[in-house]
Amino acid sequence: MNKNLTIAMTAAMLMGGGVAQAQDVNIGKNNITLKSDLMTPEALWAMGRIGAAQASPDGKKIVYQVGYYSVKENKGHQVLHVMDANGKDDRLLTTTAKSETDAAWLDNNTLA
């Protein structure tokens, strides 16, 4: 009996967790207008922060993560970008409300 109750409670918690995740705010690139030449804490929080980066096996592409933060939400969010090694063709890969980090190349064209 206790085993069935434990399974039922676990299932209920997992289902409830899915609802809370759907309400997450997708924090992304911020636009801020500076009123002077001084760097403010608000300007620093508005900037994206580059995280882990990895070159493809052939060295032609780079995948990297960027972290964005929201002071209002008191949260951070990580997204993945990929670009050519020469700095051109920068593309955002992830757009979910969940953070995406630590991508790894499986081959020259496939990320995990």
What pLDDT digit, counting tens, does each position of 68-102 carry? 998 888 899 999 999 999 999 999 999 888 899 99
Note whether residue 81 is domain-resident: yes
Note whether residue 4 is domain-resident: no
Note whether residue 97 is domain-resident: no
Note whether residue 21 is domain-resident: no
How far is 59 from 44, CA to CA, in rounded Å? 32
Q: Is the pTM of this model over 0.85?
A: no
| Number of domains present in the structure of the chain | 1
What pLDDT digit, counting tens, does each position of 31-61 carry? 778 888 888 888 888 889 999 999 999 999 9
Neighbours of 104 (CB within 10 A): 10
Note whether residue 50 is domain-resident: yes
Note whether residue 98 is domain-resident: no
Residue 32 domain boundaries? 26-92
List C-alpha distances in Å: 111 to 28, 54, 64, 93, 101: 22, 10, 11, 10, 12
Note whether residue 61 is domain-resident: yes
Provide the 3-class DSSP secondary structure of residue 99.
coil
Note whether residue 46 is domain-resident: yes
